[in-house]
Amino acid sequence: MKFEKEILCIGAGYVGGPTMAMIAHKCPRYRINVVDINPEKIAQWNSNRLPIYEPELDEIVSGVRGRNLFFNTDIGAGIRAADIIFVSVNTPTKTFGAGAGMAADLQYVEKTARQILEYSESSKIVVERSTLPVRTAQAMERILISDKPGVKFEVLSNPEFLSEGTAINDLENPDRVLIGSQQTKSGLKARDVLCQIYENWVPRGRIITSNIWSSELSKLVANAFLAQRISSINAISSLCEATDANVDEVARAVGLDSRIGPEFLNASIGFGGSCFKKDLLNLVYLFRNYGLDMEADYWEGVILINENQKDRFVMNMLRNMFNTLAGKKICVFGFAFKANTGDTRATPALTVAKKLMAEKAEVMITDPRALGNAKNDLQDIAGRYKLVDDPYEAARGCHAIAIMTEWKLYRTLDYKKIFKSMQKPAFIFDGRNIADHDKLFKIGFNVFPIGKAKMVHF
Ligand code: UDX
Ligand code: UDX
């Protein structure tokens, strides 16, 4: 069968994999090829055990894999065959040289652009799908100047807004799809080609276009605003704890103002995930780069509050558990950075576990999906910890439970049974405010929510 379009995605990660699976699912007339430098990851995409856990992803992939969705490692052949290339390689925070700890590390994006140039034998549209600092497209365009006759590249920005755990729904019913292009004739033509792909399932009104720099910047700003809301409510949670106000009640009252809205006001142990901190750092670096220091400080505050929230949490445990955690067993419920994913990148649970181990506590870690990643994250960490599948087993004999991830499971456990198996006095520190605190208190736990009065028996 001859396919109408050949689409390539470079980078088979959390973004590339689900995005391409959705395009393949919605557009049977397009052939989608996903390549990655990591052969193990490709083998997993071709197996029954996908490299990432995402609700509904398995079903979608098994419906299209081998039909119009293919995973392999032949980057050169993939580039040659493609009309459109999505670049979804990772853009971590730089760990070396100028901008270390702040700027985005663009080496993989640049290497990918050079590979595209090397292997291309015809003109192509190159889509930035990774999150990049504003004006990266300019660097891409400068690299992608071909001396082969008739070979031209048009670079577009099409940032992803998918959220892990709901990625499939976010891809299927997006609030908006953003496509940034150069405002030249060829730029606008390329933009229309990409619009047409999304029009296969996204209403035209939700596909918005802009200049390419606005598109690049919008992604950073969207994530910065979301992270800012969490740090804002988390900052308020400290004040609530000091004044016996209840952060959930405050969030509800504030969120009912239609100008503010109710989403993303859940006080927590702090945000994690591969994006928020990285993108904020990236934004702060951009501000500093342009000499906008006051603005940089403002956004840096969002990160500082997030770090403070984790410090506060562990200090609260320490203070309330009689100022020593040494030799105590603490059970960590949840290691993923949020529910419904096995992803542990920048998870607050790791920071908390490390701090507890630094206090010489023994940490029992349980999570329904993330123990594989937890094992990798913890392998070089000194300290006593165990990874335990069963939450009842993990809590047995512990002095305290710290809830780190809002898995539904942790709302519905038999806490009476857990209480019986723990050391007394038994403590529960709910870093997600998901448990039924009154019920836990009645069972006998000393309960410490976020942003609410503690409930103690002594
Ligand atoms: C994405 C975006 O690309 C990033 O910019 C955004 O901010 C977060 O989400 P993600 O899909 O989550 O990254 O990253 P990851 O799961 O690490 O996937 C990236 C993939 O690219 C990896 O599988 C890696 O092996 C692959 N890769 C990396 C290449 O194929 N080639 C390279 O040169 C580098
Ligand atoms: C985020 C953005 O939501 C998404 O649009 C973007 O494309 C990628 O980055 P993701 O990191 O997958 O997605 O998860 P998100 O749901 O935004 O949660 C991020 C972190 O904030 C999690 O640790 C989550 O638990 C935390 N969070 C979220 C809160 O602490 N409180 C809230 O009210 C919401």
CA nearest to 286, candidates 212, 182, 369, 216:
216
The residue contributing the CA closest to ligand 2 atom 13 is: 163
> 419 falls in which pLDDT band (50, 70, 90)?
very high
CA dist., res. 199 & res. 368, Å (int): 37
Per-residue pLDDT of 310-322, as tens digits, reads 999 999 999 999 9
Examine the residue annotation and report whether 331 is marked as an active-site residue of this protein: no
Percent of all residues in the chain with a pLDDT value above 90, rounded to a whole number? 91
209: helix, strand or coil: strand
For the chain, which residues make up each domain, given as ranges?
5-202
Q: For residue 222, is pLDDT > 90?
A: yes
Q: Is the dihedral of CA 206, 212, 218, 223 positive or negative?
A: positive
Query: Nearest Cα to 86, choosing from 33, 40, 42?
Result: 33
Distance of CA 324 from the midpoint of ligand 1 (Å):
41
The residue whose CA is least distant from atom 21 of ligand 2 is 271
- The mean pLDDT of the chain is 96
Q: Which CATH class is domain 5-202?
A: alpha beta
pLDDT of 132 reads: 85
Residues making up the chain, counted from first to last: 458
Backbone φ and ψ for 84, nearest 5 degrees, come out as -130, 135
Alpha-carbon span 328 to 84, nearest angstrom: 56
Banded pLDDT at 305 (limits 50, 70, 90) = very high
Q: What is the pLDDT of residue 147?
A: 85
Q: Rg of the Cα trace of the chain?
A: 24
> How far away, in angstroms, is 389 Cα from ligand 2 center?
25
**Ligand 1, closest atom to CA 89?**
21
Cα-Cα-Cα-Cα torsion 189, 190, 191, 193, nearest 10 degrees, comes to: 90
Indicate the top mutation candidate among 75, 90, 347 to test ligand 1's pocket, ranked by most ligand atoms within 8 A of CB. Answer: 90
| The residue type at 50 | L
Pairing state between β 124-128 and 84-87: parallel
pLDDT at 458: 87
Which atom of ligand 1 is nearest to 107's Cα? 33
Any ligand 2 atom below 6 A from CB of 130 = no
Residue nearest to atom 28 of ligand 2 (CA): 264
Per-residue pLDDT, 137 = 86
One-character DSSP codes across 377-439 = HHTT--S-EEE-S-HHHHHTT-SEEEE-S--THHHHS-HHHHHHHS-SS-EEEETTS-S-HHH
**What is the pairing mode between strands 5-10 and 84-87?**
parallel
Q: Which of 130, 337, 338 to mutate to test the pocket of ligand 2 (most atoms within 8 A of CB)?
A: 338
Q: Work out the pLDDT band at 131, boundaries 50, 70, 90.
A: confident
